[in-house]
Amino acid sequence: MLFPTFAFGLFFVVVFVLNWLTRPHPTVWRAVIFGSSIFFYGWWNWRFVILLLWAIGSNWFAGNKINSCRLRGAQDGVRAWTSIAIASDLTLLGVFKYYDFFAVELSNLLGMGNAVPILELTLPVGISFFTFQAMSYVIDLRRGVIEPMKFLDFAVYLSFFPQLVAGPIVRASEMAPQIAKRPDPRRVASAEAFHLILRGLFKKVVVSSWLASNLVDGVFADPQGHSSLDVLFGVYGYAIQIYADFSGYTDIAIGVALLLGFRFPINFDRPYSALSLRDFWRRWHITLSSWLRDYLYIPLGGNRGQNSDMYRNLLITMLLGGLWHGSTWNFVIWGAIHGVALIIERSLPTERIHPVVRWALTFHVVCFAWIFFRADSVSAASDVLSAIIGSSGDAKVLNAGLIFLVLASIGVQFVTKSASARMGSWMNRRPVLIQGIAFGMGLVVIDTFGPEGIAPFIYFQF
Amino acid sequence: MEKMTNAESESNRDRRRNGQGSPAGKVLVAGLAGLAVALFLNSSALLADATRQPDGTGRSVALAVWRPIESVASSLGLTWPRATVERLLGRSEVEQAITLLLEKIEVVATSEKDDRVTSSVQEEQEPREVPGEELRRSLKPNWDADNPFQLWVTGDSMVRFFGDTLVSLAETSTMVQATSEPVLSSGLSRPDFFDWPTRLAEIMTKHDPDAVVIILGGNDAQNIRAGDGEWLERFNEAWLAEYRRRIGTVMDLVTSDADRVLLWVGQPPMREEGFDQRMQLLNNLYQVEAAERDRVQYVDLRGLFTDSSGNYSRYLPDSAGKLVDVRLTDGVHLSHWGGQWLSALLLRELRRSPNVDELWVR
């Protein structure tokens, strides 16, 4: 079920009513939210509900075992159950997301055609998100930083529909207290929620879709047929498109959760205003980068030891972060570019460089990496790069409107948080009925300016 | 009591001012009011969306819901803001142009079966008889950089994944000018969504291409509405007859010029079995209709995109035996490699004629 659809609107009105009506009855409320989330996920494909249920059951069971072993001081048991849970999660990911990639690469390496059977399984939506949440739960239990959750609480946590298919990746430590504590039904953060939902829809339906259909898709389909300037702006356009698409989804998810009485962590903080790659990763997909930091980079050794150890840890983290996005060499290269750039940045006194130059360098490294992220193959990415350097094609698509949209979208990143908050608080000061009507009119404006038909969110495929 | 209510109300207002939210019941009412505003202001677009849905229960329910809402909204003048914005964006002008063209085509189409669109052309020029294998030899060989060979690649969303590549490949000759024009979600089943005969008539008149590549069908396995307004159930006898008539109309329209050839590209094998069977049925129709016409060539993609067992596969070996992914994860569209393979095949097909082949040799 896609957020910007009539079906979701109808679904959400029903869930909103049930949520607040059943909130005084904890067990009923949990059953309602869990059932709604399963319905939301099953709307796309019922068969994959089994996978979600497996992830819930196996991780909850393993979590309980980890906790009881830890309390008994049985460290071997803790290790064993943690390993079993993580192996189960990684097997899900491995079979559905990575098997074919490795099978094809192995077959090509052996030079034996279809030497290794290819499964061609459909990738379950959101599998990368809920398996990462599940892994964080069992690892946090092992570390003793959280208490085990009751089954229905854990089921609600892992399947909660606003963040189920494309994040943000919410930790159990953030969700468990919110599930346990009944929010005040007299204080629903409607203004903030309406504002976030409208902002998210605008980013997705207008900015992302418009850039995709009028600039990015054409440039990446045939870079050599476009002028160098077209291709360059096509890459800038993709940087904006993917930001608008993904942060738009997150805005809607946070807004929807707010209406149900939950507050998710922020996932984006004006990433294209970053003055360094480190800064970028503190602002882009924050819940994933903090997950990778806490559950991969630091366990690998983090900043400890010699510089070479730190560089190795950075590179491994970024390579696996790239692979998390998809099972192609392009994502590996995307991760490698970020890893290498982070290493270079840490090994040089970059703070001496003028901030404008630092911003330009950071933005262009990020854009350079996006080329591999967006292109279908490494050779397609090479075509884009060579077209930027020197294309013989004619300018086909670039016009003043597109240039303005790209530049304005980058410029908006420098609008301070307080300015953005002021815009949101305008709605907050209005009576709730006016908020609702403004919300409705906003929906009409967005639908009017958006193209026909809504493409799925880019991050659904991860 | 009243005092308490006032105090409560004041306290609620304070909370709201301080950003602490509103009661859930009021939020629900406000949200529903907002949605109602959106539904009425947007009712014309919602009705248009419902009209374009495939025939079935969903469409009937949607029409039953949106028609009265749109009727009330338009009588209250609530649809004009959106209509005004769309006019300012130039969208209504496009619709108007299409309507005018549609009317023009319908005037021609009132005559007999398939010769309707070609009749005016035939009056001016007697079509040459061209045997099947010789078809492209009839093409004029006098192309040069100033008078390039015009290639038009068009169809549904499938074109997005090979059209631009074919254009690039074709334009490696300075004597070729190629254009790719995909129309997403389009087909021959729903002219109310996109009218291909109208658009093609426009292309033929304005651009007079020498060769046209068309791929359609991915969105066509649905009930269609006959000229008398009756809905024809997918794949029943009347449906097949009507769909064949539409294929024939498009083929005749494109080849109305005796110097033009049409490559009709069949649907590739699909991952989902039922969808694949439906596409194969449509492919049979395209093939039969193409076989009945001299300057139409059907291009079968099954051989190109199936594995050694003749089945759909996302990964296929290239000429060096290396496995590459030729299809997207949706099991329908072509990947970058798939697009390159298809473009190479289509260019080979075009070059089979000696005169055309010279374009890339000279």
**Does residue A344 have a pLDDT over 50?**
yes
The confidence score (pLDDT) of residue A153 equals 96
Is the pTM value of this prediction over 0.95? no
User: Higher model confidence: residue B51 or residue A411?
Assistant: A411
Flag if A188 and B27 touch (Cβ within 8 Å). yes
Alpha helices (runs of H) in chain B, residue ranges in sequence order: 2-17, 24-41, 43-52, 57-75, 80-88, 91-109, 119-124, 163-170, 196-207, 237-254, 273-291, 336-351, 354-361
Go through the domains of chain B in sequence order and give each one's CATH number: 18-88 (no CATH), 93-361 (3.40.50.1110)
What is the mean predicted confidence (pLDDT) over A46-71?
A: 94
Q: Shortest Cα distance from A190 to chain B (angstroms)? A: 6
The confidence score (pLDDT) of residue A77 equals 93
Flag if B164 and A225 touch (Cβ within 8 Å). yes
The confidence score (pLDDT) of residue B126 equals 35
Flag if A13 and B32 touch (Cβ within 8 Å). yes
Flag if B317 and A113 touch (Cβ within 8 Å). yes
Where is average pLDDT lowest: A23-27, A321-325, B14-18, B354-358? Answer: B14-18
- At A12, the pLDDT band (50, 70, 90 cuts) reads very high
Q: Shortest Cα distance from A136 to chain B (angstroms)? A: 28
Q: Is the dihedral of CA B287, B291, B296, B302 positive or negative?
A: positive
SS3 B305: coil
The residue assigned the tokens 């189920």 is A164
> Both tokens of residue A437?
């009507």
Contacts of B41 in chain A (CB under 8 A): 440-441, 444
- At A366, the pLDDT band (50, 70, 90 cuts) reads very high
Residue ranges in chain B modelled with pLDDT below 50: 1-18, 93-137
Catalytic amino acids of A? Answer: 325
Domains of chain A, residue spans: 6-180, 190-461
Contacts of B33 in chain A (CB under 8 A): 433, 436-437, 440
H-helix or E-strand spanning residue B172: none
**Does residue A252 have a pLDDT over 70?**
yes
**Does residue A183 have a pLDDT over 60?**
yes
Residues A367-407 pLDDT 10s: 999 999 999 888 889 989 999 988 666 656 788 888 999 99
The confidence score (pLDDT) of residue B111 equals 34
User: Higher model confidence: residue A457 or residue A244?
Assistant: A244
| Category of A6 on φ-ψ map: left (φ > 0), alpha (ψ -120 to 50) or beta | alpha
The confidence score (pLDDT) of residue A461 equals 55
Residues A129-159 pLDDT 10s: 999 999 999 999 999 999 999 999 999 999 9
User: Higher model confidence: residue A221 or residue A71?
Assistant: A71
- At A244, the pLDDT band (50, 70, 90 cuts) reads very high
Residues B55-87 pLDDT 10s: 778 888 888 988 999 999 989 888 888 888 878
Where is average pLDDT lowest: A4-8, A53-57, B309-313? Answer: A4-8
Q: Shortest Cα distance from A186 to chain B (angstroms)? A: 4
Flag if B35 and A432 touch (Cβ within 8 Å). no
Interface test with B, best of A104, A190, A209 (most B CBs within 10 A): A190
Residues A157-181 pLDDT 10s: 999 999 988 879 999 999 999 999 8
- Sorted by sequence, the CB contacts under 8 Å of residue A14 that are 6+ apart come out as none
Q: Shortest Cα distance from A85 to chain B (angstroms)? A: 28
How far is Cα A248 from Cα A254, in angstroms, rounded to an integer? Answer: 10
Contacts of B38 in chain A (CB under 8 A): 440-441, 443-444, 447
The confidence score (pLDDT) of residue B118 equals 31
| ipTM, two decimals | 0.80
